[in-house]
A and B are shown apart, each in its own frame.
Chain A
Amino acid sequence: MNTKNWLWWLLTILVLLGIVLGLWVATKRIDYTWRWNRVPQYFFYQDKDVKKTVIDGTVTKIEQKGKTSIITVHNSDNEDNVFIVDTETVNLDVDDYLMEDDTVGAILDWKAGPLVTGLWVTLWISALASIIGLVIGVVTGLCRVSKNLTLRQLSITYIELIRGTPLLVQLFIFYFFLGTVLDIGRLASGIFALAIFAGAYVAEIIRAGIQSIPKGQMEAARSLGMNVPQAMIYIILPQAFKRTLPPLAGQFISLIKDSSLVSVIAITDLTKSGREVITSTFAVFEIWFVVAFLYLILTFSLSQVVAWVERRLAVSD
């Protein structure tokens, strides 16, 4: 950072702080109470599995083994009831008398909350839809530049149909119509709808990429005796892929964001998890900010990965 720039840096930070301050003042005026402390438990929480005795009896033995304790309850019928629980939850002494259904202790366990599971669902739905979408897109893109008229017309029809209708409507069609007719579940409907939506855009990107490669490349490959598939696989597509990487990355980033729409067909992705958490916390502002931030982490990571791949491919420039 040179000396001339740091003042501008400072200005940027001040402007951003100003916006944040403005938002804070605005929420103050509507008497909104921020409850950020309610948020972390929806990432991870401690699950308590409470153990209760099924017999009346006396505690005869408490054996500690590190963090767990083994507790034996003995009754008048000479029956033993043995429990393994976490030591920190035990509030008993030897010779304490327990009635049926009294608590002996509990086993504590960290579990992923709805925000984490939702994030995971969004992540793998997007990843799967991206991979399928890329395959569909490459195949359609190749059909789009094919010499065969039918292949060309079919690919154009597909691209126009998908690009001309809203994704939300496509999701409903996939879920209610195709889901019912073909008997596929909501997850599969959601993933295929996203993949087919992305595929149409990927196809156009791939077509543009292929057409941007000079004709001489194909001629050189053919003049060496390669057939068309070989020339495509080894010569044209690698170059086209390199050129189309930035727009492809943009498309897949869009796909991650668009995946939030699958919440309308009751897939518990990040967006739907957020909505569910809000119904139990009423921390509306906090949760939506957190959800937005989690999406941002996903998209930002992807753009970083792509930037790294681009730098690696740039060696031949």
Chain B
Amino acid sequence: MIKTVDLEKIFVGRGQTVRAVDGITTHIKQGEVVVVIGPSGSGKSTYLRCLNGLETLTGGHVHVDGIDLANRKTDMNKIRREVGMVFQQFNLFPHKTVLENLVLAQMKVRKRKRIDAEKKARELLEKVGIAEKETNYPSQLSGGQQQRVAIARALAMDPKVMLFDEPTSALDPEMVGEVLEVMKQLAREGMTMVVVTHEMGFAREVADRVLFMDYGKLVEEGTPEHFFIEPQEERAKLFLRQVL
């Protein structure tokens, strides 16, 4: 589904060079739930943002469904509509109602008719449990509700993969559960997911595979059982001691 080969992203600014993603090779298979964890500043988010071309690559390749994002001829917009993304800060469109947030891209990008787009939007709002809020504006919703709308908005495009960039980090603790519940349901339905998170419980319960990153490098990967119980690398052990 998504293959990265020697993925490299270097930020240069103010005389500093930061190797945010430093040669990562991964293969995310169809239907797989991959959780990316690591200390802050380890490049997890940057790695995720490279997967749908939000960051331009410094080096290496990302193949989504066999199409190389590093190829300049690739139409990024076509790739992005197949790859849904959920952000830490929700990034709902504040000037549009909840329903319009879900309908807009369906009509403009997928060229669906309004009636079909609204039907799809209502189904998804029902699914994430906020059907009654469709006429509200994002500012009138709680953080958890906003994030669920954001998930529904991404799903409305019928993506083949969903990327989650710390989806619960900006939420009040009591709202984390409702968002994770929606994500678990998605995972059960067989959605291919790449999740950057600090929710170790979620990683343990839902992940098929865990990637541990530090200093832009992929330090360790394996099943949750392997990773949480008998990590091999010293840095992974240190990290787990600090968070668990």
Contact partner, A216, options B91, B96, B157, Cβ 8 Å: B91
A27 within 8 A of B: no
Chain B residues within 8 Å of A, Cβ to Cβ: 52, 54, 76-78, 80-81, 83-85, 87, 89, 91-97, 104-105, 108-110, 137-139, 150, 153-154, 157
A317 interfacial contact with B, CB 8 Å: yes
Most B C-beta atoms less than 10 A away, residue of A220, A221, A225, A235 = A225
The answer to whether A223 and B85 touch (CB under 8 A), given A315-B137, A316-B137, is yes
CB distance from A217 to the nearest CB of B (A): 6
Question: What is the minimal beta-carbon distance from B101 to any residue of chain A, in angstroms?
Answer: 9
Which residues between 173 and 228 of chain A lie within 8 Å of chain B, taking CB atoms?
214, 216-217, 219-227
What 0/1 pattern do residues 33 to 64 of A give for CB contact below 8 A with B? Answer: 00000000000000000000000000000000
Task: Tell whether, in the assembled complex, residue A220 and residue B87 are in contact, meaning their CB atoms are under 8 Å apart.
Answer: yes
Does A28 have its Cβ within 8 Å of any Cβ on chain B? no
Q: Is the interface of A mostly helix, strand, loop or mixed?
A: helix
Kindly list chain B residues whose C-beta atoms are within 8 Å of the C-beta of A239. Answer: 93-95
Which of B89, B92, B150, B153 counts the most chain A CB atoms within 10 A?
A: B89
- CB neighbours (8 Å) of A235 from chain B are 93
Decide: A225 and B77 in contact? CB cutoff 8 A. yes
- The listed residue (B94, B137, B139, B153) touching A224 by CB distance below 8 A is B153
Q: How far is the CA of A223 from the CA of B83 in the complex (A)?
A: 7
Contacts of A317 in B (CB 8 A): 137, 139
Q: Pick the residue among B89, B94, B105, B154 that contacts A226 (CB under 8 A).
A: B105
Whole-angstrom distance between the alpha carbons of A234 and B93 in the complex? 10
Interface contact B108-A230, CB-CB below 8 Å: yes
User: For residue B107, which residue of chain A has the nearest CB?
Assistant: A234
Distance between A38 CB and nearest chain B CB, rounded to angstroms: 53
Q: Check if A242 sits within 8 Å of B95, measured CB to CB.
A: yes
- B77 contacts A223, CB within 8 Å? no
Q: List 10 A-B contacts (CB under 8 A).
A: A220-B92, A222-B80, A223-B52, A225-B80, A225-B109, A226-B109, A234-B108, A316-B96, A316-B137, A316-B138
